[in-house]
Amino acid sequence: MTEETKTGKVVEAAKTAAPQAQSQQKRPYGGAGGQRGGQRGGRYPKKNSKGRGPRPSYDDDEQEVWVPKTTLGKKVAAGEITHIDDILKQGSPILEAGIVNKLLPGLNEEVVSVRRVQRTLDSGRRMKFSILAVVGDKNGHVGVGMSKGVEAGPTIKKAMSRAKLNIISVKRACSSWECGCGEPHTVPYKVTGKMGSVEITLKPAPRGVGLVVGDNSKVTLDFAGIRDVWLSSQGHSRTVINQVLAIYDALKKLSTFKEEVSKGVKEVKVKV
């Protein structure tokens, strides 16, 4: 065999080996031979449509399109019901937050309490967020909602949605003996609300006094449209959740009165 023949075979072998080396470098999986997993340290490709993927973003600017599902929601979307008081007078339960968004577009929302709670299991501790939110239009409508979840963003949205489902109509008046302005700016009479060990008492106040309450209670009363009130509390009032829920219970009692019957005392709901 001559030297020219040997040289030609070496060149041909190099040409055939070059594409194979390039194909091995372009393989999507690590390791020799292109087998799934390959050698230690090989990486799998990212899944695009199904399986793994980026977490959903919870942007406050994104607004979901409301599609009514209940009969009440369809009536609101069709324009048959134009005021939320018409629903509250009937006593119909509100099962969709879109109803409140439609009838009360300028609703104020605020997170009152954010806590980290944990639960011990066999696998370890599970951490969650506990969110308390208050919504209101500052004109006689307020709602309180509470929710728990792993992530803060979705939990806050869920608490806001529950607060909208629990919205009530607050009765207001000018009932203080020191005031005679005639505008609805305070509670109509002395009322007491309770939650847990906390007991809250709201008393009518004259115009100009303001909200003589704590910071946590001030948000709920301000969203309800009450401008002047005196408040006294008993129990562990430093507990924010019980304090806010006790005020919410007192505001709900403003739309009821006690009627004496032959067998005892009966609570009757007033149509506001």
- CA dist 34 to 16, 22, 27, Å? 19, 12, 6
Q: What is the CA radius of gyration of the chain?
A: 32
Residue 201 banded pLDDT, cuts 50, 70, 90: very high
What's the CA gap between 153 and 151, in Å, rounded?
6
Q: Greater confidence, 143 or 258?
A: 143
Nearest C-alpha neighbor of 225 from the set 145, 149, 138? 138
Nearest C-alpha neighbor of 135 from the set 127, 143, 146, 145? 143
Answer whether 184's CB lies under 8 Å from 169's CB: no
Residue 78, burial from CB neighbour count under 10 angstroms (0-12, 13-18, 19+): exposed
Instruction: Say yes or no to pLDDT of 10 above 60.
Output: no
Mean pLDDT of 2-25: 52
pLDDT at position 132 is 95
Q: Greater confidence, 112 or 215?
A: 112
Which domains are assigned to the chain? Answer: 68-103 (no CATH), 191-269 (3.30.230.10)
Answer whether 188's CB lies under 8 Å from 216's CB: no
How many other CB atoms are found less than 10 A from the CB of residue 159? Answer: 28
Instruction: Say yes or no to pLDDT of 109 above 50.
Output: yes
| Mean per-residue pLDDT over the chain, rounded | 79
Q: Greater confidence, 200 or 57?
A: 200
Nearest C-alpha neighbor of 247 from the set 235, 231, 236, 258? 231
Crossing angle for the helix pair 215-223 and 240-253, to the nearest 10 degrees:
30
Instruction: Say yes or no to pLDDT of 29 above 50.
Output: no
Cα diameter, the chain = 127
Q: Which residue has the tokens 């001030």?
A: 218
Structure tokens at 49: 């449509």
Q: Which residue has the tokens 């199904």?
A: 50
pLDDT tens digits, 224-250: 999 999 999 999 888 899 999 999 999
